[in-house]
Each structure stands twice: as structure tokens, then as C-alpha cells.
Amino acid sequence: MVMRTGRVLTLDLKPTVGRSSTRFLLVKSKRVVAAQPQPAQHEGEPLTPAAARAALKRAYSRGAAAAAELLSGPDMLSSDALAERLGLSREAVHQKRRRGELLGLEGAKRGMRFPAWQIGPNGRPPAALPALHEALGEPWAVYRFLRQRHPELGMRTGLEAVTDPRQAAEALALARRGGDFGPAGA
């Protein structure tokens, strides 16, 4: 949406009766107008339903390919590998994931993968993970929040901020406010 702000000029015409003719008094008043959402201007013809479906299918395909590439990276661990690193059973890893205590990402072919970087030098994931899952609603949104840099956090990543006790509360507040890291359509 495009936002427009500005001033509105109101002109009131008030008849005045004079000796020889009717005159009009022009009264000008200016007032500041708050930002009003304006519909986005699109150039060209709107998509047909078939073209829109095809474009959406291409976008989903690009997203699936990007997710598959990301999940096959060397920093993505299987539940077995993460369990070994943490000294837990595979089932305990999945229980922690379901409670939001670990970040697990599901792909179409590779199953559940766990980012290795979520385990800090202390051998534990960030304490803020359950709150991030609650605030953002889904694992991919948590992933985006943790990996991207945020101007509101001094260009630090979400992961850097939530693991810094001086900035953790600020990072959680940002996650609760939402942003482009949130679920699709949010």
C-alpha cells in the first residue's frame, strides 16, 4: 500500500449580500491530514486466474528449491547427529523440538533438520527459543528471525541479540511486533 500525507485545502463559499449585488466570501482553511492508505498502482493488465496460478506455482517451486538447498547444507544436522552432540536420545530431541526448545526445519525430502548454529558455546540452544516459537508461530519464521540482521537491533542477527543478555528482551519484543520474518501472509 502507498501512504500519502499532506494538507487538505477547504474552500467555503458563503454568500454575502451587498448594496448592489450578491458577493461570495471565500474562506480558506488548511488542516494536516493523517496518512491514508492508497491502493497500490499496478501497471499493465491484471493476471488472469490461470496466469496467477502459474505464477504462484513457480513461486512455490522456487521456495521449495531454496528450502531444499538450505536443508542440505553442512550446518544442518539430522536428529541423530544433534542427539549425539547434545548427549540425548533422538526422541528427546524431537520432544524438545515440539516444545519449542530446539529449532527444527522440515523439508520435503530430507526430513527434519536442525541448524547446528543454534547450539551455543555452552552446549545449549538459546533460552529464548520457546518464546520465539510462540511469538512467530512457525519454525521457518523463527529461522528467518534468527538469521537476518535487524536495524532495530543495531544490525545484529536475531541469534546474536537473543544470546546477549543485554539485548535479549529487546529482540523478543521485536519478534512479538512481527515483521517480514513472520509467517506468510502475516
Round the average pLDDT of the chain to a whole number and report it: 82
pLDDT at res. 67: 87
Statement: the pTM of the whole predicted model exceeds 0.75: no
pLDDT higher than 60, residue 136: yes
What is the C-alpha separation between 171 and 158, in angstroms, rounded?
A: 7
What is the C-alpha separation between 80 and 77, in angstroms, rounded?
A: 8
pLDDT at res. 110: 63
CA angle 123, 124, 125 (to 5 degrees): 135
pLDDT at res. 17: 54
Residue-wise pLDDT for 90-130, tens only, equals 999 999 999 999 999 997 776 799 999 999 999 999 999 99
Enumerate the β-bridge partners of residue 30.
9
Residue-wise pLDDT for 50-97, tens only, equals 988 999 999 988 988 888 888 999 999 999 999 999 999 999 999 999
Residue pair 166/160 in contact (Cβ under 8 Å)? The answer is no
pLDDT at res. 186: 42
Q: Which residues of 122-146 are buried (b: 16+ CB within 10 A; e: fewer)?
A: eeebbebbebbbebbeebbbbbbbb
pLDDT at res. 107: 79
pLDDT higher than 70, residue 164: yes
Comparing 7-11, 72-76, 156-160, 165-169, which segment has the lowest mean pLDDT? 7-11
Comparing 19-23, 34-38, 67-71, 105-109, which segment has the lowest mean pLDDT? 19-23
What is the C-alpha separation between 135 and 156, in angstroms, rounded?
A: 19
Give the DSSP H or E segment for 132: helix 129-136
Residue pair 167/180 in contact (Cβ under 8 Å)? The answer is no
